[in-house]
Amino acid sequence: MLVARENGEFVGSLSGGCIEEDFIEKIKQKRFQNPLQRLSYGTGSSNSHVQLPCGGQIQLLVERMAPESGAGRHLEELYSSLQVHRSIQRRIRLPNGQCRLVEDGGIGAAVEESADEIRVRCGPAGQLIIAGASSVAEACAHFAVSLNYGVVVCDPRPDVLAQFNFEHCQVRSELPACYIATTGACHNATAIVSLTHDARIDDLTLMEAVRTEAFYIGVMGSKRTSEQRARRLERSGQLSAEQIRSIHMPIGLDIGSRTPAEIALAVMADVVRVRRARPRHTL
């Protein structure tokens, strides 16, 4: 998404640099005066003079928000929703561009289109809660920060926490389950991953995590360990079959990971997959 003024000032990105210069020049030329317009770049488009290195095509939806149109109130409501971690959709009517906000679960494609409207999913920045400090947790935290997730690392063992670098993360020396149970700690843009080999920490984390709105819950371990954990959670934790099925165990995508960084990559790739509602079999 990109927001621009008619003088050329802008914030955001459309393609990472391929088309921004041409698009901003069109704004300066006051080419977008209708409430809603479509624009395409790349192969077969009216702007084919702008080459895309990938050889594909980019479709843009351009909304003109005039000061007298009520845009200020709309943006204030959008901002307020994000501040309290509400996931919403902007539903834009075709062809007049009228827009309304509706509640949303936060999971799915960023943009969806039907015959009479375009739905743009907007939500709070993703949050990752990591239970347990480890070399995998350290690598996972670095990946998550680079993906603009806010990261919280919880471990009740100060001596273990001190062994790792969790730069740009909130570090809490407490049981992850205690933090997760705190009011406001989790919302529907939260992923919870337990990356220890300590069943006491892992099990308590999962028992509390399934009671939250978190869109992803996962725990590290082999298939055999995961089967044993499932039986333990059912027996001792009194978790239902549905709650157990909601836990990703073993965690992450099966890409043959061996090193801590590779395991962390598999974990974060799976988190992104679930948030974008991509089934495993489509990968």
pLDDT tens, 4-14?
Answer: 998 989 998 88
Mean pLDDT of the chain: 90
CB-count exposure of residue 178 (10 Å: 0-12, 13-18, 19+): middle
In this model, does residue 22 exceed pLDDT 70? yes
Please compute the mean of the pLDDT values over residues 57-77 and round it to a whole number. Answer: 86
Using pLDDT thresholds of 50, 70 and 90, give the confidence band for residue 236.
confident
pLDDT confidence of residue 48:
60
pLDDT per residue as tens digits for the range 90-109: 999 998 888 899 988 888 88
Higher pLDDT, 54 or 204: 204
Using pLDDT thresholds of 50, 70 and 90, give the confidence band for residue 46.
low
CB-count exposure of residue 149 (10 Å: 0-12, 13-18, 19+): buried
> How much of the chain exceeds pLDDT 90, in percent?
63
In this model, does residue 281 exceed pLDDT 70? yes
Q: What amino acid occupies position 38?
A: R
Residue 74's φ and ψ, nearest 5 degrees, are -60, -45
Using pLDDT thresholds of 50, 70 and 90, give the confidence band for residue 173.
very high
pLDDT confidence of residue 211:
95
Per DSSP, what are the bridge partners of residue 12? 2
d(CA 17, CA 28): 18
What domains lie within the chain, and their CATH numbers? 1-64 (no CATH), 66-124 (no CATH), 127-282 (3.40.50.720)
pLDDT confidence of residue 52:
73
pLDDT confidence of residue 145:
96
Using pLDDT thresholds of 50, 70 and 90, give the confidence band for residue 127.
very high
* Own/partner long-range contacts of 276-280 (Cβ < 8 Å, ≥24 apart): 276/108, 276/109, 276/110, 277/107, 277/108, 277/109, 280/253
State the Cα angle at 111 between 25 and 69, rounded to 5°: 60
Using pLDDT thresholds of 50, 70 and 90, give the confidence band for residue 181.
very high
